[in-house]
Structure 1
Amino acid sequence: MSLHSDSIVIDGLNISKFDRPVFEDMKKGGVTAANCTVSVWENFPATIENIAEMKRKIRANSDLLSLVRTTDDILAAKRDGKTGIILGFQNAHAIEDNLSYIETFAELGVRVIQLCYNTQNLIGTGCYERDGGLSDFGREVIAEMNRVGIMVDLSHVGGNTSTEAIEASSKPVCYSHCLPSGLKAHPRNKSDEQLKFIADRGGFIGVTMFPPFLKRGIEATVEDYVEAIGYIINLVGDDCVGIGTDFTQGFGKEFFQWLTHDKGRYRRLTDFGTIKNPEGIQTIGEMPNLTAAMERAGWSATRIEKVLGQNWLRVFKQVWGA
């Protein structure tokens, strides 16, 4: 068996067009579990429908998938040769102004919620607006997420709001999918200081390969992705770093138009341009190439296993509980 097929492989963020071809590619890529986005701009009822639809897809594709509520479910997915689906949000918009919805979502299986998606909401500010920091309601949201075992994600959140959220949380928080601004200046990338700040406080960093944020953009290869992961490891060590690909497999221009406009329909926040994943890992099925690139870079098997999934597994257990 290869190192990749032996390892637990956890993708900290996937927002692909979830259907049978993507699920088959997850199996081909040896993905043990993935944080799959079921809410971005949707309100409470629309998000409930998205969760119901994802659960229907898990049942319809039960030969390939299982629902993840606990870290034991991730281990079971590995044993069964399936991909565990972690329900996650990329925005807390669906919470609206009702703290009790957080426990409701937890009971439905939601395990990761990003506080903001690029812009201001009731909790705080995203990375594309002037950042006023975490609101008092936001502090209540974090406390409730800590209580019910939902991980706080700060990937698209502004710097001030992120700092205050890291300090407010009693459990580890994460950037589920980010890149270092030390390799490329971009509003979505995190400075060395931000990366050290979250790591020093027990937080977690999932590294993305989304091309607009990579140093060489659409010219990047899987080696560039490994370079970015290595850059962050050199800053914070290899115990709090993992992968969060941000795969958008199966989607086209209309989807990115929706993502990049405020609330999905108002002002344009950013223009990604051409989306072309790094050569060698353009599809989920090519995930074994990432492990091979880590091996070519001279990484130890222990480090590779940590980054592929063991680190995520540990921090999820800290947040989700037994």
Structure 2
Amino acid sequence: MTLHERCVVMDGLIVSRWDRSIFEDMSRGGLTAANCTVSIWEDFLGTVDNIIEMKKLVAASSELVTLARSVDDIRAAKRSGKTAIILGFQNSHAFEDRVEYVGIFKELGVGISQLAYNTQNLIGTGCYERDGGLSGFGHEIVEEMNRVGILVDLSHVGPNTSREAILASKKPVCYSHCLPSGLKEHPRNKSDEELRFIADRGGFVGVTMFSPFLKNGPNSTIEDYVEAIRYVINVVGEDSVGIGTDFTQGYDKGFYDWISHDKGAYRKLTDFGTVLNPLGLRTIGEFPNLTRAMQSADIPERVIEKVLGENWLRLLGEVWSV
């Protein structure tokens, strides 16, 4: 049995076009669990509809996937050779202006939610705008997420809002999918100071491979991704790092136009340019290549095991225990 086959392998962020073919590729890639986006710009009802559709998909592919509400569910999925699907949000837009909606979504199975997505909402500010910090309502949302056991994600959130959320949260929070600005300056990347600030307070960093944020852009390879993982390990330590690929498998340019929109008709926040996953990890099914690339980079097996999944499970266990 290879190291990849032995390990719990968790992807901290996948936002692919959900259908059976994605689940089949997860199986080919040996994924034990994944944080699967079911809401970005949708409101409460739109998000409930997305959750209904995801649950239908999971039920129709029950030999491949299962829903996860606990770390025990994830470990059971590993034993049965399935992928545990964690329902996650990339924006708190679905909470609208109701703190009570946080608990409702937890009951529906949501385990992770980002506070803001690129731009301003009622909770705080995204990374592409002047950052006014965590609002009063945002403090209430963080407190309620702590209470019910939903992980606070700050990947697309601005630095001031992130800092205030880290300080406000009584439980660890995460950047589920980010890259270090030490390798490439970009509004979505995090400085060494920001990475240390979250990790020093019990938080967590999932490293993404989204090519516009990698040093070599669309020319990036899996070795560039491993370089970024190694960089973050050197900044925050081997116990605070995991994988968060940001796979967008199955989507076309229309999807990127939709996710990068801004408030107001026809406004656009940013242009990603060419989006091409690193050579060697173009699809979810190629996930074993990542383990081999980390081995080739002489990262110790005990560290690879932590980064692939065990660190994620420890974090989720702490946050989900209520």
TM-score by length of 1: 0.99
Does structure 2 retain, via aligned residues, the 8 Å contact 1:188–1:213? yes
Q: Which amino acid aligns with 1:161?
A: T
Q: CA deviation at 1:20?
A: 1.1
| Matched residue, 1:36 | 36
Q: Deviations over 1:263-299 (max 9, x none)?
A: 5964101111111100000000000000000000001
| Matched residue, 1:88 | 88
| Matched residue, 2:150 | 150
Q: 1:264 to 1:20 in 2, by over 3 A?
A: farther
Q: Which amino acid aligns with 1:170?
A: K
Q: Which amino acid aligns with 1:175?
A: Y
| Matched residue, 1:273 | 273
| Matched residue, 2:298 | 298
Q: Deviations over 1:114-164 (max 9, x none)?
A: 000000000000000000000011000000000000000000000000000
Does structure 2 retain, via aligned residues, the 8 Å contact 1:41–1:264? no
| Matched residue, 2:195 | 195
Q: Aligned-pair RMSD on alpha carbons?
A: 0.9
Q: 1:151 to 1:131 in 2, by over 3 A?
A: same
| Matched residue, 1:208 | 208
Q: Distance in 2 between matches of 1:263 and 1:61?
A: 37
Q: 1:304 to 1:264 in 2, by over 3 A?
A: farther
| Matched residue, 1:45 | 45
Q: CA deviation at 1:262?
A: 1.8
Q: Distance in 2 between matches of 1:113 and 1:149?
A: 11
Deviates more, 1:62-71 or 1:255-264: 255-264
| Matched residue, 1:238 | 238
Does structure 2 retain, via aligned residues, the 8 Å contact 1:12–1:244? yes
Q: Distance in 2 between matches of 1:291 and 1:44?
A: 38
| Matched residue, 1:117 | 117
Q: Distance in 1 between matches of 2:265 and 2:104?
A: 27
Are residue 133 (structure 1) and residue 161 (structure 2) matched? no
Q: Deviations over 1:18-41 (max 9, x none)?
A: 111111000000000000000000
% of aligned pairs identical? Answer: 67
Counterpart of 1:36 in 2: which secondary structure? Answer: strand
| Matched residue, 2:58 | 58
Are residue 176 (structure 1) and residue 176 (structure 2) matched? yes
Q: CA deviation at 1:236?
A: 1.0
Q: Deviations over 1:80-118 (max 9, x none)?
A: 100000000000000000000000000000000000000
Counterpart of 1:205 in 2: which secondary structure? Answer: strand
| Matched residue, 2:253 | 253
Does structure 2 retain, via aligned residues, the 8 Å contact 1:176–1:204? yes
Q: Distance in 2 between matches of 1:239 and 1:118?
A: 28
| Matched residue, 1:218 | 218
Q: Distance in 2 between matches of 1:258 and 1:157?
A: 18
Q: Distance in 2 between matches of 1:47 and 1:253?
A: 22
| Matched residue, 2:18 | 18
* Unaligned stretches of 5+ residues in structure 1: none
Q: Distance in 2 between matches of 1:257 and 1:235?
A: 33
Deviation above 2 Å: which 4+ runs of structure 1?
A: 263-266
Q: Which amino acid aligns with 1:270?
A: T
Does structure 2 retain, via aligned residues, the 8 Å contact 1:13–1:176? yes
Q: Distance in 1 between matches of 2:75 and 2:101?
A: 29
Q: Distance in 1 between matches of 2:8 and 2:262?
A: 36
Does structure 2 retain, via aligned residues, the 8 Å contact 1:258–1:265? no
Q: How many residues align?
A: 322
TM-score by length of 2: 0.99
Q: 1:31 to 1:50 in 2, by over 3 A?
A: same
Does structure 2 retain, via aligned residues, the 8 Å contact 1:258–1:264? no
Q: Distance in 1 between matches of 2:303 and 2:212?
A: 27
* Unaligned stretches of 5+ residues in structure 2: none
Q: Distance in 2 between matches of 1:237 and 1:113?
A: 24
Q: 1:79 to 1:173 in 2, by over 3 A?
A: same
| Matched residue, 2:4 | 4
